[in-house]
Amino acid sequence: MIELSEVSKTFGQQPAVERLSLTVARGEFLVLLGASGSGKSTTLRLCNRLLEPDSGSIHFAGTDLRSFEPHVLRRRMGYAIQSVGLFPHWTVAQNIATVPQLLRWSKARIAARVEELLSLLHLDPATFKDRYPHALSGGQQQRVGVARALAAEPEVLLMDEPFGALDPVTRQALQEEIARIHRVAGTTILMVTHDVDEALRLADRLVLMQQGRVLQQGSPAALLAPPLDTKVAQMLGGRELGLRRLALQTVASRARPELASPGPSIAADANLREALDLMLQQACDHLNVHDAAGQPIGRLYLADLAEAGA
């Protein structure tokens, strides 16, 4: 979908991105993770020509980026940023309709799309459609920002630390939202973040960036699997390497097919980190596991968790 080859970009004397090659596959959720100044935002902004590379080439849907008119290209890509940037003088509905209106969709189609997106992001259309941005909470503003980015059914959604300014609860709710939208709509998403847990939770593929280069890439599980490069361990693990490994595995993957016994129970699609937390809270060394319908399907043991986190 997007293909960067040998791309470099320098600001003044400071190289932001150096000979970077990266491919974003169609339908993929790709997360760029790195510290401030690692070049991840620059990479994102190169993709919709907010920045032009000094050297190297970028292709979108097989065509060189330079042969697109910038504004035509950008209308095919959604864009959501941490500061949201809603138009303060437009209502929520008008804000969401920005790109469809530029593409001259019919009024009826725009209205239908606005309703659909508001519902998709769990904002009641009747309540929020005619509000102005200043009358929304930070989380609601970001929901509208995401809805606006998705409005014209873009082929790619570019997100630059979209949830960085939100409180943990709202952030997690929106992360679940975006994961669901990705599953349902299959939109290709390229997201930049410095939040390790967010990256691990959302990414199909994770690209670790450092000083304008790709340090390593792969699926979250593969990146966390031993043996770990020290730099990667430092970036991804910190002091929670084992817990993060647990967070990537479901209860179902480690449950033993045994009969249920009295005691606490956990859903099969919960992750192992949540299971560990429950065991600690309940001071027990095993949990019953039940499926979505509530039927017991087995048991999970603390010893298995120790194995899974290693």
Partner 1 sequence: MTIRNRVLLCLMLLGLPAALWLAFLAEAPNRLVSGQGQPLAHYLAGPRYLLLLPLIAWLAAVFARPSPRWQLCIIACSGAWLGGLTWLAGDAARSIAQTASPLARTSLGGAFWLLCLLGWLAAGDATARLPSSWVRRGQRQLWALLPLLPVLCLLASGQLDELSLLKEYHNRREVFTDALVAHLTLVLGALLPTLALGLPLGWSLYHRPLRQGPVLAVLNLVQTLPAIALFGLLIGPLAALAAAWPALGELGIQGVGAAPALIALTLYALLPITRSVLSGLVQVPATAREAATAMGLNGWQLFRQLELPLALPVLLAGLRLTVIQLIGLAMLAALVGAGGLGTLMFQGLASSALDLILLGVLPAAALTLLVDAGFKHWAANLKGALP
Interface with partner 1 (CB under 8 A): 48, 50, 70-75, 79, 81, 83-90, 98-99, 102, 132, 134, 145, 148-149, 158
- Give the nearer residue to partner 1 in terms of CB position, either 75 or 213: 75
In whole angstroms, the minimum distance from the beta carbon of 193 to partner 1 comes to 18
Of how many residues is the chain composed?
310
- Give the nearer residue to partner 1 in terms of CB position, either 69 or 307: 69
CA dist 269 and 272 (Å) reads 9
Tokens matching residue 151: 């409005």
In whole angstroms, the minimum distance from the beta carbon of 98 to partner 1 comes to 6
- Give the nearer residue to partner 1 in terms of CB position, either 54 or 130: 130
- Give the nearer residue to partner 1 in terms of CB position, either 43 or 288: 43
- Give the nearer residue to partner 1 in terms of CB position, either 48 or 140: 48
Tokens matching residue 131: 């509000």
Amino acid at 260: A
Q: Is 147 helix (H, G, I), strand (E, B) or coil?
A: helix
- Give the nearer residue to partner 1 in terms of CB position, either 47 or 224: 47
* Nearest of 153, 91, 154, 152 to residue 125 by alpha carbon: 91
In whole angstroms, the minimum distance from the beta carbon of 187 to partner 1 comes to 16
Q: Measure the CA dihedral 222/223/226/227, to 10°.
A: 120
Number of neighbours of residue 301 by Cβ within 10 angstroms = 16
* Nearest of 68, 76, 228 to residue 158 by alpha carbon: 76
Tokens matching residue 183: 């599953």
Tokens matching residue 205: 């593929």
Q: Measure the CA dihedral 127/131/136/139, to 10°.
A: 60
- Give the nearer residue to partner 1 in terms of CB position, either 129 or 205: 129
In whole angstroms, the minimum distance from the beta carbon of 198 to partner 1 comes to 21
In whole angstroms, the minimum distance from the beta carbon of 122 to partner 1 comes to 22
In whole angstroms, the minimum distance from the beta carbon of 106 to partner 1 comes to 19
In whole angstroms, the minimum distance from the beta carbon of 153 to partner 1 comes to 14
CA dist 44 and 16 (Å) reads 12
Tokens matching residue 154: 């873009």
